[in-house]
Amino acid sequence: MSESEYEGRQDHIPQLDTPEIEVWAFQFPGSRTDIEIQVPEFTCICPKTGLPDFATISIRYRPKNSCIELKSFKEYILFFRPLGIFHEHVVNLMLRDLVRTCDPAWMEVRGIFNPRGGIQTTAVATFGDVP
């Protein structure tokens, strides 16, 4: 098996120091409240070509005690703009950071990346028992 020219380009992703995401206290813990956040203008960079990748990011979750504060989340999203990162790593990095921040009952991060060369990619990462 030959080594891919992508080899080693993403080894640093799990250790990235990402911006802090703030939360606020949810006043109805134990309720069956589900929240969905849409980011229709997400951008990052292809780690091979350096060209921009565009996507819609959808975050669905059920809060336990905390909800994601949206202004800090917008600032978090800007972190990805100059970052060379694979689509699959985008959703997993976001899921890791969001779960650490707000400790939801369950969460799904879905990235629907615009077609490139006739191929459209959707990557989904989940935490807990997503309905």
Residues with Cβ < 8 Å from 129, sequence gap 6 or more? 106
Strands 23-25 and 66-68: antiparallel
Residue 17 annotated in active site: no
Residues 28-35 have a mean pLDDT of: 96
| pTM of the predicted protein model | 0.91
Tokens 């917008």 sit at which residue?
Answer: 74
Active-site residue, from 44, 53, 97, 102: 53
3-state secondary structure of 76: helix
- pLDDT at residue 34 above 90? yes
3-state secondary structure of 74: helix
Give Dmax (Cα) for the chain: 54
Whole-angstrom distance, CA of residue 92 vs CA of residue 99: 10
Residues 42-57 have a mean pLDDT of: 93
Residues 33-37 have a mean pLDDT of: 98
Residue 97 annotated in active site: no
Per-residue pLDDT tens over the stretch 65-108: 999 999 999 999 999 999 999 999 999 999 999 999 999 999 99
Look at residue 2 in the predicted model and tell me its pLDDT.
Answer: 47
- pLDDT at residue 25 above 70? yes
Residue spans of the domains in the chain: they are: 20-127
- pLDDT at residue 9 above 60? yes
For the segment(s) 20-127, the CATH number from 3.40.30.10, 3.40.50.80, 3.40.640.10, 3.30.1130.10 is: 3.30.1130.10
Nearest 5 degrees, angle CA 95-CA 43-CA 72?
55
